[in-house]
Structure 1
Amino acid sequence: MSRALIYNSKALAHLGSNDQAIKSALEGLDIAKSNNQIDNIDKAYLNLSDIYTKTKDFEKAHSYLEKHSKISDSILVIERANISPTTQTDYTQAYNAAKFKDLQDQVKKQESDSNLAKITTILSIALITILSLLTLALYKNNNIRLKSNNMLQEKNDDLIEAMKRAELASKTKANFLSTVTHELRTPLYAVTGLTNMLLEEEPSEKQIPHLKSLKFSGDYLLTFINDILQINKIEANKVELDPILFNLKTKVENVCSALNNSALENNTKMHYEFQKDIPETFIGDNLKISQILINLIGNSIKFTKDGDIWVRVYSIENKGDDHILRFEIEDNGIGISKEKQDNMFESFSQGSIQINRKYGGTGLGLSIVKGLIEILKGKIYLKSELGKGTTFFFEIPLTYAPETVKIVKEDYSKNISKLDISNIKILIVEDNKINQMITKKILNKMNLQCDIVDNGEAAVEKVKENSYNIVLMDIHMPGISGLEATKIIRTFDKELTIFALTAVTLEDKMHEFDEAGFDDIISKPFKQEDFEKKLYEVLAASQNSTATF
């Protein structure tokens, strides 16, 4: 038990848990002392010296090192009595001492001899003494080297084992998120899809509040799942920048406008200030900036009732077209206590359990905000006082660029209706009956005809027997999966457009979709305009190709 605790202490020290490592080493030392285990006491002293050196507590490190040195010398004395090389060394030393005495006697008797004899005698004595000391030094050096090699080997083995555990934990986490994501997003596709359909089918006034509550709950769950996935992507460094030309002033105005109704429900007034003498158009990742603003402004709205929120944008530094812009989101809400401010940007962290219960939320928003700002090469900090409100500041670099093209949002549903879609055939491959019905209704509303099958084998046969323009392929199905079905289809049809209509969204799975032969991926539950855009692009390209012939 003593040795196990000491080795556990070494492993904890390698993993950075120094306090736990010290505790484990001391427990092992106590057991060793109680049972007079000299070897384990020596190992514990050396390990404690290493840990305190690592934590820069050099006084304790030196103290334990001295104890280690004393007990090591004691062990060495005991070992010399039982090891053949040591016995030989002791014999040599005893012999040399006797020889030295004899030579001294001879010197006294022969003082009248020549100086040459005296010099020869002294040199002989010196040579024997040096050889004795060299033998002892080599022996001790060999012991120290052997001990050092053993320690290095133990440390190396511990490090390799820790790396293996970390890699296994990472794979387990990714697989868990993949499974949970699919299991949650699939029923959410049904909830959000059916809710939107019912709201579009002129429900009674009594039903509308219930449907809106259902829609809110579905959207909340989807946001929570997406937040968890985004945290995972940020931690895995898989978030990529997508810089484009955009109007920053308009972008912030749109975010404030979209959140204004929520503020009004709390009887809170929003104020927006954009510095007059700075440009409005920049090159940057506007989607990530929007997400940061939505999280921070939404956070202020949640914790501010009967108050005010100020959103300010201004430049704090510029060199030519390169600007450092500061964004401020200030409120006069409940505020954050001093002791809670340091942990506000950690995952699943909120002011308190009572705040979580009263105001809701996952505690992931600020963690995502911090991660996104760091990806944008910016920084964030806050100023708050309990009961008087909170101000979040974040600064990011942006490059000015003149606006040359006005982007107009297209209605792809109307665009599809303008195409000749009379001969368009779409195959839905989906094992969930509710999801089949929802996808079919969405297509039928666009006057698109479709067939439905509920497994991969049937999908392969349908594609062989019919001429389809698009296949919407689910991934997880009984029998062969959507990936396997697509691989089979690609052996005899390379041109057919196949979309992966799936709840799997982790980036480390994307290469599997590419290898299987999918043209694109539509994540469930999807935004209808995104779905319509992908369909339109394929159908329009197909008609243009036909017109060329």
Structure 2
Amino acid sequence: MTHSFEEIFVENTIKTNRRFMYLIFFSNAAAPLIAVGTWLKFFQISYTSCMEIFLTTVVISHFIWWLNHHKEWHEFTKFIGLLMVEILIMRLAMNASIGIYISYAFIPLFSCLYVDQMLTIIMNLIGYFALAASLYFRSFDQIAKYGSIFTARQWFLSYLMGFTIEFVFLFAITLSIVKYERELLKSLSGHIVRQVEAEQTSMVRTKFFAKLSHELRTPLNAICGLTDLLKEKDLEEESRKYVETIDTSSKAMLEIVNSLLDISKIYTDKMTIQKGPVDLRALTEDTIRLASFSVEKKIPIKLELDRSLPKYIVGDRTAFTRILLNLLNNALKYTDEGKITVRILWKDKEEDAGILHLEVEDTGRGIAPSDLDRIFEEYAQTADAERIKYTGTGLGLAVCRNYVELLEGRIWAKSGVGIGSVFYVEIPTVSTEEAPKEKTKEKFKPSFQAPEARVLIVDDKRTNIQVLAELLKPYRMKLSPCLSGEQAVELIKSGRHFDLVFMDYYMPGIDGKEATKQIHELEKDKGKKTVVVALSANPAEIICKEFEDTEIAGALQKPVNREDLNAVLEQCIDASLRSE
């Protein structure tokens, strides 16, 4: 992509050369028109001159076209094009003086298209001296033809003086135009450079967050997966408490990873919302419990709910959770004593519609009013030295703002140093009678078993294979582990058949996308391709983007939960392999 001033300057030179080439080439149409005019007695120009104009324009335009395709001749081509246009104007003019005057006036203006100060100066001088020479030679004709009280020299000097004054003004105007054009070009190139750098930074940052998220979710996949399996066991009360603690801690860690993923999606404009029924009271209580557990501070969090608040509203559960959790985490981080209050109101009620009004108030250090406008930016920090000592990702409030904007709401804050802060969120929504689908706490039972189904699990982390194998155990399938994309391709190449392949995306060597492509390429003559389900730390819609141009049957986000896994198996395992 062209972005530096020099590159834009060269590109402009090439384009302007091309414009003059077309101008010269199409001016050959004047030759037959002049010939027709001569035939009709409108002009008195010989047919030889018409042919001369025609051939000259064709030859010169093709010559400029050839020069323009050679970088080393770009500068030379500028002069050729302008001089040819100047000669054509003079040649086509019925009156030579008019032709010279037109070329003297217009060629310096045409030269401004090149945004080259030296070229404009040269073309101004060439036009001026050509005009002076024309005036000098025509002065003798004027005196001889019409007679005058002036001598030829006096006639020449008087006209030259007038044109010199015009030249000075034309010279100043054209140089000012070129100077302004160069400033605009430099400004444009600077803007393009900043835009390209921002895009490159965003791309690198997005890849970094995606990779970081994957690396963090890999151990979390094992922790969350095995914890879910442990929760289904018959444990002693003390052991169950330990498992619940591990589960809550891993979910708190998962929320941090999700914030990284959210900010990655913000940079790429991929953040989306999925609306459905939400039990706001239950969601708020769960989020408060999670936020309280994630910090060691014993700051009480008080919940105040509007009595008119409907039991269920329509919204994005994930978005509501992230907004409230990030606001609570922010409040807990900067509050050392006192309390935090969460208020949820139902405002501007009109039938089922209303405004969900959320307040998170703390008694912490507070924020200077001058910093309130920038606290919702990524990585923003206030100038308060006391607040700087508190660590964090710097992403929480930015994630809140983006989720609120996606929900067509607004977010703002009121605060002052030493008096605490209040964060406000207002989101338009509607109430609903439909209850959200609750996850059952009963022991999971698979919808079918498939003892004859052969399943290949491809992942470079043994713990991920172990977790997925444990989750698949109730289905009684024949499982085969595989630690690399290369190994998976070799298994298919050796003639092994699998009814389903779970393929991780991020792997050293051949990644999941390339391995899937190679597997399907090996099977293109068989008429039936191996069913592949993609695994990644990213949400399903981004996984499908990662496996773009690759035929996959489904996608699962790590940590894998049983419900999503069961849905994928229902879709991908052939009915002939199942048994109830």
- TM-score, normalization by structure 2: 0.61
Task: Find the counterpart in structure 1 of residue 342 from structure 2.
Answer: 311
Q: Do structure 1's residue 168 and structure 2's residue 200 form an aligned pair?
A: yes
CA distance 1:389–1:85, shift in 2 (3 Å): closer
Alignment of 1:91-102 (within 5 A): none
Task: Find the counterpart in structure 2 of residue 238 from structure 1.
Answer: 270
Task: Find the counterpart in structure 2 of residue 332 from structure 1.
Answer: 363
Task: Find the counterpart in structure 2 of residue 288 from structure 1.
Answer: 319
CA contact (8 A) 1:429 1:453 kept: yes
CA distance 1:157–1:387, shift in 2 (3 Å): closer
RMSD, aligned α-carbons: 4.8
Distance in structure 2 (CA, Å) of the matches to 1:245 and 1:192: 26
Q: Do structure 1's residue 437 and structure 2's residue 437 form an aligned pair?
A: no
Task: Find the counterpart in structure 1 of residue 106 from structure 2.
Answer: none
Which of the numbers 135, 144, 150 marks the counterpart of 2:176?
A: 144
CA distance 1:353–1:454, shift in 2 (3 Å): farther
Q: Compute the displacement of 1:471 (Å).
A: 1.5
SS in 2 for 1:227: helix
CA distance 1:537–1:259, shift in 2 (3 Å): farther
Alignment of 1:421-436 (within 5 A): 421-436=450-465
Distance in structure 1 (CA, Å) of the matches to 2:419 and 2:229: 44
Distance in structure 2 (CA, Å) of the matches to 1:386 and 1:158: 39
Letter in 2 for 1:225: V
Q: Do structure 1's residue 489 and structure 2's residue 522 form an aligned pair?
A: no
Task: Find the counterpart in structure 2 of residue 390 from structure 1.
Answer: 421
Q: Compute the displacement of 1:501 (Å).
A: 1.9
CA distance 1:255–1:216, shift in 2 (3 Å): closer
Letter in 1 for 2:571: V
Q: Compute the displacement of 1:321 (Å).
A: 4.2
Which of the numbers 345, 350, 356 marks the counterpart of 2:376?
A: 345
Task: Find the counterpart in structure 1 of residue 534 from structure 2.
Answer: 500
230-239 or 499-508, larger mean C-alpha shift: 499-508
Q: Compute the displacement of 1:270 (Å).
A: 1.9
Letter in 1 for 2:261: L
Alignment of 1:469-480 (within 5 A): 469-480=499-510
Distance in structure 2 (CA, Å) of the matches to 1:165 and 1:249: 45
CA distance 1:268–1:274, shift in 2 (3 Å): same
CA distance 1:468–1:132, shift in 2 (3 Å): closer
Letter in 2 for 1:180: L
Which of the numbers 384, 387, 397 marks the counterpart of 1:366?
A: 397
CA distance 1:211–1:302, shift in 2 (3 Å): farther
Distance in structure 2 (CA, Å) of the matches to 1:446 and 1:357: 51
Q: Output one character per residue of 1:145-193: Cα deviation in whole Å (capped at 9) or x when no partner.
A: 4444444444444444444434333333333334433344334434555
CA distance 1:385–1:139, shift in 2 (3 Å): closer
Q: Compute the displacement of 1:288 (Å).
A: 0.7
CA contact (8 A) 2:408 2:428 kept: yes
CA distance 1:306–1:88, shift in 2 (3 Å): closer
Q: Identity of paired residues, percent?
A: 26
CA contact (8 A) 2:536 2:543 kept: no
SS in 2 for 1:414: coil
Q: Compute the displacement of 1:230 (Å).
A: 1.0
CA contact (8 A) 1:268 1:304 kept: no
Q: Identify unmatched segments of 5+ residues in structure 2.
A: 7-116, 137-148
Distance in structure 2 (CA, Å) of the matches to 1:337 and 1:249: 32
Distance in structure 2 (CA, Å) of the matches to 1:322 and 1:423: 53
SS in 2 for 1:486: helix
Distance in structure 1 (CA, Å) of the matches to 2:462 and 2:577: 35
Q: Identify unmatched segments of 5+ residues in structure 1.
A: 1-6, 9-74, 96-116
SS in 2 for 1:363: coil
Distance in structure 2 (CA, Å) of the matches to 1:461 and 1:441: 25
Q: Output one character per residue of 1:246-266: Cα deviation in whole Å (capped at 9) or x when no partner.
A: 344554355446556679971
Distance in structure 1 (CA, Å) of the matches to 2:564 and 2:239: 28
Task: Find the counterpart in structure 2 of residue 453 from structure 1.
Answer: 482
Letter in 2 for 1:369: C
SS in 1 for 2:411: strand
Distance in structure 2 (CA, Å) of the matches to 1:503 and 1:269: 32
CA distance 1:274–1:452, shift in 2 (3 Å): same
SS in 1 for 2:549: helix
Distance in structure 2 (CA, Å) of the matches to 1:257 and 1:208: 18
Letter in 1 for 2:547: F
Task: Find the counterpart in structure 1 of residue 69 from structure 2.
Answer: none
Q: Do structure 1's residue 518 and structure 2's residue 518 form an aligned pair?
A: no
